[in-house]
Amino acid sequence: MLDRTWSDPALDAGVEAVAEGHLAAGKTLLAETRGDSDRRTLRLDALGRAANGQSERLADLLRDADDDPDLWVWHGCVIADEAWSAFDGHLSDEEFQRFFALLEQAHDSLLSAARLAPGDAAPWAVLQRVAALTQARREDVDRLWQEAVARSPRLFAAHWDRLGIVGDRWSGSEEEMFAFARDTVERAPAGSPIVAILPLAHFIRYRRERDRLYEDNKFMAGAKLELTYFSHEVLAEIREADAKWESRQTPHPYALKAHNLFAGAYLQGNKMRDFDRRKRHLARIGRRVDSMPWAILSDDPVRMMAGGLKNLGLPLPEA
């Protein structure tokens, strides 16, 4: 099951219902998350993708409920997802204008949500992503990040997007990305899956370096990188972050995303001393396979995950 990395049966049912056009199910699910920023942003992401193509129907609902912050933030997420779905890097001038017009609509809806629910971190977290997509000034993107974490200091989704922003070449650098990732681990309380931001940073760098080598037709160097990137040095700091999470682990909406990242790092590193760590994380993932990192490591993420389970002697999850 690709990119359904959550332990939330109600969300499973809601995603199916929304995809079939039953938007009331999504509204109910979001209303349940007020005051729980991590659960709210996770559901927003899933329901935003499920409602892709239905933004006009959501707009119709808003005409009768323009004071509903859940509908406004959901509407903004759906429009942003629709804009991103249409973007393949080869848009005409007219298509680019459409792309930015959609992001402007998303921006306005998210601001409406923020005004209606001043304490909600979710609109600010998504606004950060929208602003980055429009290549807004770095200081403006930074302000939106500050608004999000002022309301929810360890919001997983906000940190995930922030990592990409500070590591993006137009607004940051690899050095800034790793400084942010390591600082996040340092500040994280024991038991928080937010420490998975560190292996995420390594997968971002791994993909960039590997793809650059292959684009330059340096196939031997690319193949060598695949075998050596997750070295003892890289895995040492990943183990430390993992140990901090494991020391006091409690249920968390983003735990499955974190398990995917750590499992991928240990599997790619393929060190004997990480056998138990690989087994622990892979067992906890079950059928909930995430594109990050598995789509980086394989053209068939689910098959690669199943192969990892088999090699460790773990049972394959039921379909």
Is the per-residue pLDDT at 319 higher than 60? no
What is the average pLDDT across 238-254?
Answer: 95
Of the three residues 125, 140, 172, the one that is the final residue of a domain is 172
Mean of the per-residue pLDDT values of the chain: 93
More confident residue, 123 or 87: 123
How far is the C-alpha of 113 from the C-alpha of 267, rounded, in Å? 41
**Does residue 232 share a domain with residue 153?**
no
**Does residue 247 share a domain with residue 120?**
no
**CATH code for the domain in which residue 153 is found:** 1.25.40.10
**Does residue 160 share a domain with residue 22?**
yes
What does 136-149 look like in DSSP terms, one character per residue? --HHHHHHHHHHHH
What is the average pLDDT across 111-115?
Answer: 97
Q: Which two tokens stand for residue 86?
A: 């249409």
pLDDT digits (tens, 9 = 90+) for 273-308: 998 999 999 989 988 999 999 999 999 888 887 777
Is 222 within a domain? yes
**Does residue 138 share a domain with residue 20?**
yes
Is 258 within a domain? yes
pLDDT digits (tens, 9 = 90+) for 10-46: 999 999 999 999 999 999 999 999 999 999 999 999 9
Residue 211's pLDDT band (boundaries 50, 70, 90)?
A: very high
Is the per-residue pLDDT at 314 higher than 90? no
pLDDT at 91: 65
Query: Number of structural domains, the chain?
Result: 2
Of the three residues 172, 202, 228, the one that is the final residue of a domain is 172
Cβ atoms of 284 and 68 within 8 Å: the answer is: no
pLDDT at 154: 97
**Does residue 52 share a domain with residue 88?**
yes
How far is the C-alpha of 122 from the C-alpha of 104, rounded, in Å? 17
Is the per-residue pLDDT at 96 higher than 80? no
**Does residue 85 share a domain with residue 30?**
yes
**Does residue 121 share a domain with residue 32?**
yes
Domain of residue 82, residue span: 1-172
> Which of 41, 40, 72 is closest to 58 using CA atoms?
72
pLDDT at 255: 97
**Does residue 60 share a domain with residue 118?**
yes
Hunting for tokens 């979710």 — which residue is that? 122
**Does residue 283 share a domain with residue 134?**
no
pLDDT at 89: 62
What is the average pLDDT across 74-103?
Answer: 83
How far is the C-alpha of 302 from the C-alpha of 291, rounded, in Å? 9
**Does residue 189 share a domain with residue 154?**
no
pLDDT at 84: 82
Total-model pTM: 0.94
Angle, CA 162 vertex, CA 180 and CA 93 arms, to 5°: 135
pLDDT at 312: 74
**Does residue 316 share a domain with residue 239?**
yes
Is 177 within a domain? no
